[in-house]
Amino acid sequence: MSTRRKKFSLLLTSLMALTLLVTACGGNNNAASNNNASGSTPSKSEKPVELIWYTVGAPQKDADLVMAEVNKYTKEKINATIKLKMIDFGDYSQKMQVMAASGEPMDIMFTCSWAFDYVQNARKGAFMQLDDLLQNQGKDIVATLDPAFLEGSKVDGHNYGVPANKELPAQEVWRFNKELVDKYNLDITNVKSMESLIPLLKTIKENEPGVTPYAMVKDFVPVMPFDYVIEKLPMAVYLDTEDYKVVNILETPELKETLKTVRTFYKEGFVSPEVSTVTSVDDLYKSGKWLVDRASTQPFADNLWSTSMGYPIVSTPAGDPIIYNWSVMGSMQAISANSKYPEKAMEFLNLLNTDPVLRNMIDSGIEGVHYEKVSENVMKNLDKSKDYDMPTFAFGNVMLTYLNEGDPENKWDEFKKFNESGIDAPLLGFNFDTSKVSTELASVQNVKEEYWAALMTGTVDPDEYLPKAIEKFKAAGLDKVMAEAQRQIDEWRAATGK
Amino acid sequence: MSQRKKKERDFHNLSTPMNISFNLIAGIFSLLCVFPFLFVVIISLTDEGALANNGYRLIPEKWSFSAYQYVFDMGDSLIRSYGVTIFVTVVGTIISLLFMSFYAYAVSRKSFKYRNFFAFFAFFTMLFNGGLVPTYIVVTQLMGLKDTVWALILPLAVNAFYIMILRTFYSTSVPDAIIESGKIDGAGEFRIFLKLVLPLSLPGLATIGLFSTLGYWNDWFNALLYIDNPNLVPLQSMLMRIETSMQFIMQNASNSSLSLEALRSLPQDTSRMAMVVLATLPIIFAYPFFQRYFISGLTIGAVKE
Amino acid sequence: MKMVGEFFKNINRNKVMLFMVLPGALWFLFFSYLPMLGTVIAFKEYRFSRDGFWASIVNSKWVGWDNFKFLFSTDDAYVITRNTLLYNIAFIFIGLILSVILAVILSEITNKRLSKIYQTGMFLPYFLSWVIVGYFTFSFLSSDRGLLNGVFESMGIESIQWYSESKYWPFILVFVYLWKAVGYNSVVYLASIMGIDRSLYEAAMIDGASKMQQIRAITLPLLRPIITIMTLLAIGKIFYADFGLFYQVPRDSGTLYGVTNVIDTYVYRGLKTTGEIGMSAAAGLYQSVVGFTLVMASNYIVRKFDKDNALF
């Protein structure tokens, strides 16, 4: 027994010596990395620049392999190489926030309205202002983009990011599980408002006991005629506004009316009784036990949805295609404020958004390894493509990418048509500067989290809870935030002549 | 060996009814703790379709190993993650035991003039910290640890909470008289520490060693912050990355381009549970390892010899 | 001059101990005290500067106490402070009692192998992340598919909408916390019991003391130092709440906020959109200062009665 104890202490002592040694060695590494200042003699051929690029998505097994190919290509084209670093969706915002705040060396980074918030970080000074770079090194990008992209992504009158050329407006559609639609011969052509869904939902509720008629999640917000100043906070202007007056949507008759309908949905059991805490209805999608839900669409979305669910989906519009700030900022690349090579970075972004070879290499990998070409602009994924599966929308101009086998020939033309059909939202190009009201906003945000989901999903009676919510929002300082928003909007209108 | 048995019997003269009720209480609580984990195992072995149809069930309609198939398809990246986790856990635990056992011993000694200062010096860090960004800068820019395995080890090496516990262990289980007698025998401070103090405080050291091991094994946050290189990502961090990304994508499901592209590459519910099983199973054996040093009834005479 | 000489004499006299403290002290210096300088951003409106973090701090403008205001600006301040404090008090005391009882039971069980199996089982909850614990509570409490409502239904009791009835949640949260933490915490006490000199029990047995008397007269008094320290340290964290417990387990249900909103969740929700790191630093500083004050006060009281067991 005591020998075991002795052994343990012997182990401890010998390891102690070892670690002291190891940690001492580890300290030397720092000295080695400090040698880049010494190369002061100018070399004849300019040394290629290495650009560090942080972007969103799960790290891929074959990334190093593909990037080696990419670097050969970019070295030749613009004398630059790329160091790509992928950070998965869930970690991206937090990690980038910390790295940007600490001045980590970076050149290019992914930013958007839903992760590593573009407007917020542009205001805080994380990104370089790109107005001049876009005119010079990036002029081909400007030529390919619908002007609304650059207009809508301006922060205080300047561009800080390069939007990806993709679908521009956001249009809400009702999605239907076609098997159930066919089974009960439901007529979906006349569906537009939430009320018009009720007879269909009733049919399913009565005849299909195991089915949740409406697949709703806690984030649900009815389609309303508003352009929000901040997404999901109850201050907005009407979409058809003339005077740009900021209203509290909770006090509008439209919302009151709609909430009554949603409440009916809840009471009739069209949605899950726990909808206000449901973050995902993935199990419904997998089992096909739902009739309808709502999603934002893009051309040929029905096909994509049908493929990913494994059964046919049909959809019908629930609103108009409208170009919001957030839809414009769906995917962007920005240049870090501390980048040493902003011109090179823009040259690279320019190439990425205009050169099909580079764009497809980054997106799909190496031809013959990860994919093979079927024709000029159609490709087929090979088995190895699972080791290099990139989120296409996050890497710039989507319309340069090859079509997959089975994609309609006119896919990108339809995208262009869709983009042209978009209607500008009134606040397109206006971005609220929250710094003067950040205290109030923090309180308002907490009130919102408390009441929003319960109200919007119909879980609570609007007659009782709507006045409560309005009062609590007021107490938290919503009026002050709205007044500040109004002031900034008026200023913005005066400056832009809207 | 026979001597030990005899002593244990002497020590535990617990009446049978009491022994039974003690066993019942501990057994039921233990079962309550094991149950959810068993549930995880069952879900990981449930057929994905059956899970979507029926929700979580104790006895699934249909069993399936496909969840593990998904996990094993990750192949060498899974093995590498195990390697990183094991290395970090072993080396980290050793380093932290060293640092902390020294520190705690010094502040436990009444003869150490600055003991209160250093106790406070440690304690203060339990409450105040500089926050994420300043710490990140110190670790990456000042020490240059980014993307090295040391970024997973050093930030967790010392913990004031453990030092305080360890200090209490020293001062309660090592009587001053023993140290004094060591001094009279002419032993130096180090010798006293190694020969007299360490053996007496083994249960305490084992406790802290266990906590360190679990802390290192479960840590995912340091990897999130400091590791970009996919080859250096530990197991829990890989699991957590999938968890959080999944939640994120689900919560942004209304974003059409994101959900269309990212949803299809998401692992299923069952695969995530399979990962939990694979990430937890090995570490269950850590507890018995440290348990061996919870040897009861150490008598001081045995050490003095 | 004399003082300097005295100082070096002291250093020399304590050199072995100082050497032992050195690695840990250096660690604290680098990993804790150096980053603490960054706390100054609690008083700044933090804006990035090209030249890195320190330049950013210097260039950001001072805003005084503005960053702290959001913590106190509405009635929520009362709710979150109350919830954080009450839950932590419950966790500390109930957790302490249960952990000690469990440790005593485990140390007394005659069959050592069984005891070890129980201990290993109790450790498992520690490995499950709050997200997964959240799944489980949901699989019990879900209103239509939950195990509990299923049982209620079969017994003819009306089912309960658990995620919108706040009256049950204080109990649920305390239960879930204890379930996850007690096994882990009891190890400390168990190890302390194992460190108790066995001859004390032998002597007591010769005097004819029963098991209960032994526990009362030997085990518990000898556990007092570790109980005191553990409690003092827990008091320091009394203004911090376990985010996952209060966010994931109630599934962020708005109707439950009255009993589930704590300082950490409030700060998280409030700063989600603006991401002002100055404001989150301010919240952290506030939590630390209150915790620090409370520990110092309790430590002062402990010192009065029981000098040996105080923190310092």
Amino acid letter, residue B143: M
Name every chain A residue with its beta carbon within 8 A of the beta carbon of B5.
none
Res. B304: pLDDT tops 80: no
| Interface subset of C 49-68, CB within 8 angstroms of A | 49-53, 55-56, 66
Which class would CATH give C70-309?
mainly alpha
- pLDDT per residue over A442-461, tens digit each? 999 999 999 999 999 999 99
Res. B9: pLDDT tops 60: no
B254 closest CB neighbour out of A2, A296, A331: A296
- Interchain pair B118, C33: CB under 8 A: no
Res. C148: pLDDT tops 60: yes
Residues in chain C: 312
According to the per-residue pLDDT averaged within each range, which of A337-346, B296-305, C190-199 is highest? A337-346
- pLDDT per residue over C32-74, tens digit each? 999 999 899 999 998 888 888 888 888 899 999 999 999 998 8
Which of A97, A277, A437 is the best mutation test for C, with the most CBs of C within 10 A? Answer: A277
- How are strands ordered across the β-sheet holding A226-228? A226-228, A235-238, A247-248
- Interchain pair A443, C161: CB under 8 A: no
Band of residue B18 on the pLDDT scale cut at 50, 70, 90: confident
B158 closest CB neighbour out of C27, C117, C288: C27
Give the pLDDT score at A12: 43
List CB contacts of A479: < 8 A, sequence separation 6 or more. Answer: none
List CB contacts of B245: < 8 A, sequence separation 6 or more. Answer: A58, A88, A89, A90, A91, B262, B266
Name every chain A residue with its beta carbon within 8 A of the beta carbon of B258.
89, 114, 391, 393
SS3 of residue C108 by DSSP: helix
Q: Residue B215 belongs to a domain with what CATH number?
A: 1.10.3720.10
Residues in chain A: 498
List CB contacts of C80: < 8 A, sequence separation 6 or more. Answer: C261, C262, C263, C265, C266
Give the pLDDT score at C52: 80
In angstroms, the separation between the Cα of residue C113 and the nearest Cα of chain B is 10
List CB contacts of A331: < 8 A, sequence separation 6 or more. Answer: A110, A112, A163, A164, A166, A393, A394, B257
Rounded Cα–Cα distance for residues C279 and C275 (Å): 8
Band of residue B303 on the pLDDT scale cut at 50, 70, 90: very low
Q: Which residue has the higher pLDDT, B262 or A53?
A: A53
- How are strands ordered across the β-sheet holding A171-177? A212-214, A290-297, A171-177, A313-317
- Mean pLDDT of all residues in A373-378: 89
Q: What CATH number does the domain located at A171-322 have?
A: 3.40.190.10
Residue B68 lies inside a defined structural domain of this protein:
no
Name every chain A residue with its beta carbon within 8 A of the beta carbon of B247.
90, 279
Q: Which residue has the higher pLDDT, A53 or B68?
A: A53
In angstroms, the separation between the Cα of residue B168 and the nearest Cα of chain C is 6
Band of residue B263 on the pLDDT scale cut at 50, 70, 90: low
Contact of C95 with C182, CB cutoff 8 Å: yes
Q: Across chain C, how many H-helices and E-strands are there? A: 17, 2
Res. A394: pLDDT tops 60: yes
Question: Which 3-state string (H, E, C) describes chain A?
Answer: CHHHHHHHHHHHHHHHHHHHHHHHHHCCHHHHCCHHHCCCCCCCCCCCEEEEEEEECCCCCCHHHHHHHHHHHHHHHHCEEEEEEEECHHHHHHHHHHHHHCCCCCCEEEEECCCCEHHHHHHHCCECCCHHHHHCCCHHHHHHCCHHHHHHCEECCEECCEECCCCCCEEEEEEEEHHHHHHCCCCCCCCCCCHHHHHHHHHHHHHCCCCEEECCCCCCCCCCCEEECCCCCCEEEECCCCCCCCEEHHHCHHHHHHHHHHHHHHHHCCCCCCHHHCCCCHHHHHHCCEEEEEEEECCCHHHHHHHHHCCCEEEEECCCCEECHHHHCCCEEEEECCCCCHHHHHHHHHHHHHCHHHHHHHHHCCECCCEEEEECCEEEECHHHHHCCCCHHHCCCHHHCCEECCCCCCHHHHHHHHHHHCEECCCCCCCCCCHHHHHHHHHHHHHHHHHHHHHHCCCCCHHHHHHHHHHHHHHHCHHHHHHHHHHHHHHHHHHHCC
- pLDDT per residue over A157-176, tens digit each? 899 999 999 999 999 999 99
Task: Please tell me if residue A219 touches chain B, with a CB cutoff of 8 Å.
Answer: yes
- Mean pLDDT of all residues in B13-17: 77
Domain count, chain B: 1
- Interchain pair C14, B40: CB under 8 A: no
- Mean pLDDT of all residues in A195-208: 94
Angle between helix axes A63-78 and A342-354 (nearest 10 degrees) is: 110
C122 closest CB neighbour out of B33, B119, B168: B33
Give the pLDDT score at B258: 65
A15 closest CB neighbour out of B52, B94, B295: B94
Give the pLDDT score at A61: 87
- Dihedrals phi, psi of A173, to nearest 5 degrees: -130, 155
- Per DSSP, what are the bridge partners of residue A111? A332
In angstroms, the separation between the Cα of residue A455 and the nearest Cα of chain C is 10
Res. A339: pLDDT tops 60: yes
- Interchain pair C70, A453: CB under 8 A: no
- pLDDT per residue over A292-315, tens digit each? 999 888 899 898 888 888 899 999
Contact of C211 with C99, CB cutoff 8 Å: no
Residue C295: enclosing H or E segment and its boundaries?
A: helix C277-305
Give the pLDDT score at B275: 85
Give the pLDDT score at B5: 40
Give the pLDDT score at B271: 82
Angle between helix axes B115-127 and B160-173 (nearest 10 degrees) is: 140
Rounded Cα–Cα distance for residues A434 and A441 (Å): 8
Q: A188 is written with which tokens?
A: 């979906």
Task: Please tell me if residue A126 touches chain C, with a CB cutoff of 8 Å.
Answer: yes
| Interface subset of C 110-149, CB within 8 angstroms of A | 142-144
- Interchain pair C254, A449: CB under 8 A: yes
- pLDDT per residue over A77-96, tens digit each? 999 999 999 999 889 999 99
In angstroms, the separation between the Cα of residue B100 and the nearest Cα of chain C is 7
Res. A30: pLDDT tops 50: no
Band of residue C1 on the pLDDT scale cut at 50, 70, 90: low
Fold of A49-166+328-424: D-Maltodextrin-Binding Protein; domain 2 (3.40.190)
* Cα separations in angstroms, A111 against A55, A154, A232, A331: 8, 14, 20, 7
Give the pLDDT score at A16: 42
**What percent of chain B lies above the pLDDT cut of 70?**
87
Contact of A30 with A62, CB cutoff 8 Å: no
- Mean pLDDT of all residues in B187-194: 86
Give the pLDDT score at A23: 38
Rounded Cα–Cα distance for residues A365 and A66 (Å): 6
Which of A88, A94, A117, A311 is the best mutation test for B, with the most CBs of B within 10 A? Answer: A88
- Interchain pair B128, C136: CB under 8 A: no
- Mean pLDDT of all residues in A52-79: 93
Give the pLDDT score at A428: 92
- pLDDT per residue over B156-170, tens digit each? 999 999 999 999 999
Task: Please tell me if residue A209 touches chain B, with a CB cutoff of 8 Å.
Answer: no
Residue C194's nearest CA partner among B273, A349, B11 is: B11
Band of residue C206 on the pLDDT scale cut at 50, 70, 90: confident
Q: For chain A, list the contacting chains (3+ Cβ pairs, <8 Å).
A: B, C
- Interchain pair B248, A90: CB under 8 A: yes
CATH 1.10.3720.10 domain span(s) along chain C: 70-309
Rounded Cα–Cα distance for residues C289 and C284 (Å): 9
Give the pLDDT score at C20: 93
A475 closest CB neighbour out of C45, C56, C75: C75
Give the pLDDT score at B124: 94
Task: Please tell me if residue B246 touches chain A, with a CB cutoff of 8 Å.
Answer: yes
Residue B246's nearest CA partner among A88, A313, A442 is: A88
- pLDDT per residue over A263-277, tens digit each? 999 999 999 999 999
Res. B274: pLDDT tops 50: yes
Give the pLDDT score at B249: 79
Contact of B86 with B101, CB cutoff 8 Å: no
Chain-wide mean pLDDT for chain C? 90
| Interface subset of C 55-94, CB within 8 angstroms of B | none
- Mean pLDDT of all residues in B291-303: 60
Confidence (pTM): 0.89
- Interchain pair A167, B49: CB under 8 A: no
In angstroms, the separation between the Cα of residue C73 and the nearest Cα of chain B is 23
Q: Determine how many CB atoms are found less than 10 A away from the CB of residue C2.
A: 6
Which of B256, B265, B292 is the best mutation test for A, with the most CBs of A within 10 A? Answer: B256
Residue B249 lies inside a defined structural domain of this protein:
yes
Give the pLDDT score at C136: 85
Chain-wide mean pLDDT for chain B? 84
- pLDDT per residue over B87-123, tens digit each? 999 999 999 999 999 999 999 988 899 999 999 999 9
Give the pLDDT score at A413: 93
Q: In this complex, how many residue pairs, one in chain A and one in chain C, have their CB atoms less than 8 Å apart?
A: 117
- Least confident window among A255-259, B25-29, B89-93, B229-233: B229-233
- Mean pLDDT of all residues in C105-121: 89
- Interchain pair A219, B254: CB under 8 A: yes
Give the pLDDT score at B238: 87
Band of residue A8 on the pLDDT scale cut at 50, 70, 90: very low
Name every chain A residue with its beta carbon within 8 A of the beta carbon of B295.
1, 5
- Mean pLDDT of all residues in B176-181: 84
- Mean pLDDT of all residues in A363-384: 91
- Interchain pair C37, B134: CB under 8 A: yes
- Mean pLDDT of all residues in C8-12: 87
- Dihedrals phi, psi of A109, to nearest 5 degrees: -145, 150
- Interchain pair C253, A230: CB under 8 A: no
Q: For chain B, list the contacting chains (3+ Cβ pairs, <8 Å).
A: A, C
- Per DSSP, what are the bridge partners of residue A295? A173
In angstroms, the separation between the Cα of residue B58 and the nearest Cα of chain A is 18
Chain-wide mean pLDDT for chain A? 88
Res. B37: pLDDT tops 90: no
Give the pLDDT score at B257: 63
A441 closest CB neighbour out of C257, C266, C274: C274
Residue B273 lies inside a defined structural domain of this protein:
no
In angstroms, the separation between the Cα of residue B219 and the nearest Cα of chain A is 15
**What percent of chain A lies above the pLDDT cut of 70?**
91
Sign, CA dihedral B1-B4-B9-B14, equals negative
Give the pLDDT score at B272: 81
Band of residue B267 on the pLDDT scale cut at 50, 70, 90: low
Tell me the residue range of the domain where B186 lies.
Answer: 75-266
In chain A, whose CA is at the least distance from the CA of B201? A5
Give the pLDDT score at A40: 36
Rounded Cα–Cα distance for residues C158 and C149 (Å): 8
| Interface subset of B 126-145, CB within 8 angstroms of A | 132-133, 136-137, 140-141, 143-144
Contact of B193 with B111, CB cutoff 8 Å: no
Band of residue A11 on the pLDDT scale cut at 50, 70, 90: very low
Residue C45: enclosing H or E segment and its boundaries?
A: strand C44-45
| Interface subset of A 272-291, CB within 8 angstroms of B | 279-280, 282-284, 286-287, 289
According to the per-residue pLDDT averaged within each range, which of A129-133, C114-118, C209-213, C273-277 is highest? A129-133
Give the pLDDT score at A498: 77
Contact of B288 with C120, CB cutoff 8 Å: yes
Residue B180 lies inside a defined structural domain of this protein:
yes
Sequence spans of domains, chain A: 49-166+328-424, 171-322, 435-496
Band of residue C144 on the pLDDT scale cut at 50, 70, 90: confident
